[in-house]
Structure 1
Amino acid sequence: MKIALIFGTRPEAIKMAPVYLKMKELGMDVKIIATAQHREMLDQVFEIFKIKPDYDLNIMKPNQQLSELTSRLIVSIDKILKKEKFDYILVHGDTTSTMAGSIAGFYNKIKVCHVEAGLRTNNIYNPYPEEMNRRITGTIATYHFAPTKRAKKNLLNEGINEKNIIITGNTVIDSLLWVEKNKKDEIEKIKEKYGLKGKKYILMTMHRRENWGDPMKNTLKAVKKYLKENSDMNLVFPVHLNPMVRKVVNEELKELKNVILIDPVEYLEFISLMDGCHYIMTDSGGIQEEAPSLGKPTVVLRKTTERPEALESGTALLAGTDFNDVYNTMKQLEGELYEKMSNTSNPFGNGKASKIICDFLNSL
């Protein structure tokens, strides 16, 4: 059995690294095709997990549109698939690399396995283009590794054969537990690096395409109002390198004394920042899954989430991007709700997802 793992962003790498490591541990024939949608951030993850890709497409270039990225990915991946003759392709989640890898696999009649399958918002433009990426991938995939029962139900509702759906939990928990076990000293040193020991702070990230412009401005205005009223609370914000994001963040937050704006950080650093924070505000999907394992409440800065399990279990609140909604949600977390959310168990898994995936593939 010959397997390809295709991915290219930092979140994908974080979530696929434990699958790759488990496959190597079990002696499986596996190769990594890295698209490098996130060049520097991807390399950081490879370094942490001591992984080297077999193919590196280095696909990104300045001002590249989604249509051009997609077409270049399909052509580049197709060449490798014709050469290697894989039996299975594993793709992850909802990126353009995921969708393009699935299409290239289909064109070559290779069975596609979708890790983190079945997440849905049922709004094709929110998140954009991720929702459609995962739907297209779900249509092509033969096997669907669903992280939760709800994700499985979504797939069943779309007509997927139940025999081809395997509930695994989320591989991001595997990664988080691996890092906590193997990088504990580094995590503590990072807290000292940013001078955050003993400080009460909110950790914030915001970068999604649908939040560019007014949604981000409204959110940050609400955050600014709250921070001005609560000078003992700090905000740490690793700001995405996209110029549109950086411009708005600097305009709204740069002058506040209790705001620390930093460049995007490596995965280890981010885990350290999560570990030490009071709670998290984000439009990221993966963070909604990781935070409960560290006992950190999450405020989701989006109109929808494809991870409703976080809302249902009580580990996250959906604030959206309206000024009043964001501000009021921050106020809510001053009371008993904070303690309740901090002590809620993680609905996304227990760190055994990679083994379940590998055991299933070995049973084929």
Structure 2
Amino acid sequence: MTKVFSASGDRIMIIAGTRPELIKVAPVACQLGRYDEVRVTIVSTAQQADLLPAFLGLLDTEVDYHLGVMSAGQSLNALLSKTIAALDLVIAEVQPNLIVVQGDTTSALAGALAGRMRAIPVAHIEAGLRTGDPANPFPEETNRRLISHVASLHCAPTRRNRAELVREGIAPQDIIVTGNPVVSSLQNAIQKSQSSPDLDVLLENLKGLKPVVLTTHRRESFGTTLDRNLRTLRAFIMERPDTALVVPVHPNPMVKETVQRILSDSERVSLIEPLDYPSFVRLLQAAWLIVSDSGGVQEEVASLGKPLLVLRSVTERPEAIDAGVAKLAGEGPGQLEELLGDCDALNKWIASIKPIANPFGDAQSSARIAQAFVDFLTGQVQQTRAVQ
């Protein structure tokens, strides 16, 4: 490992390991690049090594450290311990003044714990999201609760998230409502939208049809729930000859095997490789209906003006439900079938969805977060000088 910056200035280490993390930290890293006194180090744990290469173009700088923490069949505990150990070596070398983690992944929890054990302040982007159910989503709900009680600075996307943190005993002065930087990334992706030959062919083939876009990868959906959801969607497409299903298939073997087994020989179903972010946004823009268990997609649909059926029984992002752009499809037998089966209600709801002001933030969210980091570090310096 090689040091990538001088020792002068405040050193901020940003940790990301998954595609959603990179999408959300990228605009924050770009904003931090505007501060001459800040030196940013970006560490990729490569928790989603197969998905990250297509997303690295979101950064105006290179990832400084790549950690190989993934191995086939390892447990969550093994992944957590391996990631903490790998991050500890980087932290000892870089000696950051602030460690930044995003969301609720194992990488985020590992970064928060590794920083805390080195007595380095931790800032948490996307703080305060809660379902109230430790098993749903798992392990994300547990991860983000633990991070909240390790972090020194909490960047809450919404006032609702801030209230959740206060209820859990987090000091109000340590919480800043910033919005979610995904809104900045989404707008940037729309502006950067460019031709992709494979996607262009796919969209051309979908002309005259109503595309239904499916993304699914959540651990709690594995097994019978995933099997049932895929069979329900296949039946819906078969019964509606004016529709087509497009599935960017997640590389997780549990997802990939089930999707291939149930959908590979289905009529008007396209199974495609994961897309880079601008191309994925283009696909969402072309959708008639989106079906997903993704948290990020819940945040994106408001800006895109697209209807979303959320493949969950509860969500930590109720703002999308409240705004009317998303509906919970549940995880129990018959719930998704019921929503898709009421054609009149479904068509009426889909026709009513239009782009709205995103309840999760605006284009300035990443700038607010970057400024919060700088203000926090300035305050830390002032406190140190006062003690001296």
TM-score normalised to structure 2 length: 0.89
In 2, distance between residues paired with 1:105 and 1:143?
13
1:218–1:321 CA contact under 8 A, matched in 2: no
In 1, distance between residues paired with 2:159 and 2:120?
27
In 2, distance between residues paired with 1:361 and 1:245?
37
The structure-2 alpha-carbon separation of the partners of 1:355 and 1:343, relative to structure 1 and needing over 3 Å to count, comes to closer
3-state SS in 1 of match to 2:33: helix
What RMSD in Å do the two structures reach over aligned CA positions? 1.6
2:69–2:82 CA contact under 8 A, matched in 1: yes
TM-superposed deviation, 1:23: 0.6
TM-superposed deviation, 1:110: 0.5
TM-superposed deviation, 1:329: 1.7
Please say if 1:353 is aligned against 2:362. no
In 2, distance between residues paired with 1:137 and 1:193?
43
In 2, distance between residues paired with 1:312 and 1:233?
27
In 1, distance between residues paired with 2:251 and 2:286?
24
TM-superposed deviation, 1:154: 0.5
In 1, distance between residues paired with 2:284 and 2:165?
32
Please say if 1:339 is aligned against 2:351. yes
TM-superposed deviation, 1:6: 0.8
| 11-20 or 238-247: bigger deviation | 238-247
TM-superposed deviation, 1:79: 1.4
Q: What residue number does 1:10 align with?
A: 19
**Unaligned residue ranges in structure 1 (runs of 5+):** none
Q: What residue number does 2:95 align with?
A: 85
3-state SS in 2 of match to 1:39: coil
How many residue pairs get matched? Answer: 362
Q: What residue number does 1:26 align with?
A: 35
The structure-2 alpha-carbon separation of the partners of 1:297 and 1:133, relative to structure 1 and needing over 3 Å to count, comes to same
TM-superposed deviation, 1:262: 1.4
2:303–2:356 CA contact under 8 A, matched in 1: no
Which of the residues 75, 92, 108 maps onto 1:65?
75
Radius of gyration: which is bigger?
A: 2
Q: What residue number does 2:264 align with?
A: 254
In 2, distance between residues paired with 1:39 and 1:259?
27
1:301–1:321 CA contact under 8 A, matched in 2: yes
In 1, distance between residues paired with 2:45 and 2:366?
22
Q: How does 1:143-154 map to 2 (within 5 A)?
A: 143-154=153-164
In 1, distance between residues paired with 2:336 and 2:287?
18
**Unaligned residue ranges in structure 2 (runs of 5+):** 1-9, 379-388
Q: What residue number does 2:385 align with?
A: none
TM-superposed deviation, 1:323: 4.0
TM-superposed deviation, 1:351: 1.4
Q: What residue number does 1:51 align with?
A: 61
TM-score normalised to structure 1 length: 0.95
Q: Could you report, residue by residue, the CA deviation over 1:17-47 in whole angstroms, capped at 9, with x for unpaired residues?
A: 0000111123321111111101131122113
1:238–1:262 CA contact under 8 A, matched in 2: yes
Q: What residue number does 2:201 align with?
A: 193
Q: Could you report, residue by residue, the CA deviation over 1:81-121 in whole angstroms, capped at 9, with x for unpaired residues?
A: 12222111110000000000000000000100000000011
Q: How does 1:113-192 map to 2 (within 5 A)?
A: 113-181=123-191, 183-186=192-195, 191-192=199-200
2:217–2:293 CA contact under 8 A, matched in 1: yes
In 2, distance between residues paired with 1:349 and 1:237?
28
- Identity fraction in percent: 38
Q: Could you report, residue by residue, the CA deviation over 1:138-192 in whole angstroms, capped at 9, with x for unpaired residues?
A: 01001100001111111010011111111111111110111222x13337x6641
Q: Which amino acid aligns with 1:301?
A: L
TM-superposed deviation, 1:265: 2.1
Please say if 1:106 is aligned against 2:104. no
